[in-house]
């Protein structure tokens, strides 16, 4: 009878790249680069009235309407299911999405630069990149998405040179509580 609680060891290269604090310097560079891209993008939106302000939602409407133009043809850039999401959820709430995108980009950028909840911030950044890609916008999105996937894999050491080094010790993880939860 086979053991059901079998664990397959991580390969040495994977362990070095994603778990070894000696490689944390590399993830610091990646993390700060990706974070800066998000912060710069969000900050530009924050100071633009068509994103945040009296005309909030105008830029999002333009972006989404352009995405809807890419839904036709033999191989459309935007899938039908995503076009349905745009029409039924995003466009009617374009003002809310405008603020959500702006503040989301800023929050992800700051969290990555500071190394605060790096894996979670990278997840939300990659979620935004995927939505931009689903909307038919390539730009820097594939590169940022790829880098953020690696940051998610390296979450244990990606924030070593940042706030995570202390925060993860204090908070812990769902499977191993940190000092804040020990009596």
Q: Which pLDDT value is given to residue 183?
A: 66
Judged against a pLDDT cut of 60, whether residue 38 lies above it is answered with: yes
- Is the Cβ–Cβ distance between 40 and 173 less than 8 Å? no
- Is the Cβ–Cβ distance between 17 and 154 less than 8 Å? yes
Burial degree of 171 (CB within 10 A; 0-12, 13-18, 19+): middle
Model-level pTM greater than 0.85?
yes
Q: Where are the domains of the chain?
A: 115-178
Q: Which pLDDT value is given to residue 114?
A: 98
pLDDT one-digit tens code per residue, 66-86: 999 999 888 999 999 999 999
**DSSP bridge partners of 176:** 173
**Cα–Cα dist 78/128, whole Å:** 15
pLDDT one-digit tens code per residue, 100-143: 999 999 999 999 999 999 999 999 999 999 999 999 999 999 99
Q: Which pLDDT value is given to residue 1?
A: 57
**DSSP bridge partners of 177:** 172
């Amino acid at each position: 009878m086979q053991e059901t609680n079998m664990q397959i060891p991580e390969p040495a290269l994977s362990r070095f790249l994603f778990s070894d604090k000696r490689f944390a310097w590399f993830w610091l560079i990646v993390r700060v680069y990706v974070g800066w891209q998000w912060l710069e993008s969000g900050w530009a939106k924050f100071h633009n009235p068509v994103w945040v302000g009296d005309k909030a939602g105008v830029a999002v409407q333009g972006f989404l309407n352009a995405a809807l133009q890419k839904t036709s043809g033999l191989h459309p850039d935007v899938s039908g299911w995503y076009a349905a999401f745009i029409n039924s959820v995003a466009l009617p709430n374009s003002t809310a999405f405008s603020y959500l995108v702006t503040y989301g980009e800023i929050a992800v950028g700051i969290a990555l630069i500071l190394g605060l909840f790096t894996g979670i911030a990278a997840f939300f950044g990659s979620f935004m990149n995927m939505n931009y890609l689903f909307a038919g916008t390539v730009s820097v999105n594939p590169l940022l998405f790829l880098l953020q996937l690696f940051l998610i894999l390296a979450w244990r050491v990606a924030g070593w040179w940042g706030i995570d080094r202390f925060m993860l010790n204090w908070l812990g993880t769902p499977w191993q509580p940190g000092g804040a939860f020990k009596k």
